[in-house]
Structure 1
């Protein structure tokens, strides 16, 4: 789950961010996507408290980057099973979190992958995770939502419609990306603010998740493709 509307020390990641991620997580195979290993946390609350202590700040957003969320897992699985989606293409992993989706895209043959996040810890985690999987993902602390994701030919996002305010920014961004010719793929585990009428379902999976985060051990998760608005058709 990403946190594009949160503010958490914008800028470049630092060596201390990288050290923190390494100290607070352990490298683990991703359930349902065993081709990928990620540095993940065992305890969400303990890690959240650790981030606040490290930043000497209360009320920081949860450490979304330390877990494999259902939406991202589903997109990663779909990309690995359908490499033609990204093979030889430039890819944007939006609100990338741990970098799972971007790593899967590289493994599936993407020419290049750019990962965007606004959390410096997430960008540090993406770098560590990409190295652990022997791939290159160009990650940066940046908010792209006022643009169109260019020049990426494929825009991938996992679980970005879980808040009304987020949906209000993400959908226009994704529509602009599509309007300039990008293929837009989103993973969603039944969040309330996904505008389903704007998407076409490509696949559905029963994704194993962290029960403490989702209140269930399995989450039915759909991979969606943004369909052209009527105004963009013919």
Structure 2
């Protein structure tokens, strides 16, 4: 019953959109056509609906996977902090062996399930807080990190933990938040110009980049 209520709220307050870097993916998002776009905090029916937006880092991650399917094909993939689930959905479409969409927010996981169904794919979800887990269980071949460097203190914790994931390909999508580009061990794989609507949503960012973390 609770899941049905969550799903109903998400469907009520989002619209189907392909106006992003990955038009191959149909995603239920909060757009300027939605009342929530301009709603005040006290008017929100959810706690912080971050999952309703397709953040630049997530767009870079999914775009790269769709263009370079070999990076996930037959791999076990974890989409960490999955948000709307685009990275996980892209990996599943590109024939990853197993995909786990992880987020500690139940609304994000339900939004991911809705979006996965829209795109005709299936995946597994996890609500566990995996950051800091050593070793990461179950082991994943590839970890996707889309736009999670939104806070400087959290970014430091996250980056240090990611550097411990030996034997794992870590892909980080980010538009350049909190000094990520100044960190060592990052290999730039691709940079994309954001479409106009994404620039509007993300004041100050006009492009987004996909990085691979070199873990020693």
1:227 aligns with 2:214: yes
Determine the C-alpha separation between the residues in 1 that align with 2:24 and 2:127: 26
1:80 and 2:66 equivalent?
Answer: yes
Matched, 1:133 2:119: yes
Shift of 1:15: 1.9
The residue number in structure 2 matching 1:27 is 16
Correspondence list, 1:49-198, <5 A: 49-51=42-44, 54=45, 60=47, 62-147=48-133, 148-150=135-137, 151-177=139-165, 179=166, 181-194=167-180, 195-198=182-185
Alignment partners' CA distance in 2, 1:158 and 1:138? 18
Distance apart, 1:140 and its partner CA: 2.5
TM-score (norm 1): 0.82
Alignment partner, residue 206 of structure 1: 193
The normalised TM-score by structure 2 is 0.88
Task: Count how many residue pairs are aligned between Structure 1 and Structure 2.
Answer: 207
Report how far residue 48 of structure 1 moved.
5.1
1:120–1:47: structure 2 CA closer, same or farther, 3 Å change rule? farther
**Greater displacement, 39-48 / 128-137:** 39-48
- Mapped to 2, the partners of 1:138 and 1:49 lie a distance apart of 32
Q: Is the 8 A contact 1:30 1:68 kept in 2?
A: no
Runs ≥4 residues deviating over 6 A:
none
**Partners in 2 of 1:85 and 1:20 — Cα distance?**
35
Extract unaligned runs of 5+ from structure 1: 1-12
CA distance in 1, matches of 2:14, 2:168: 34
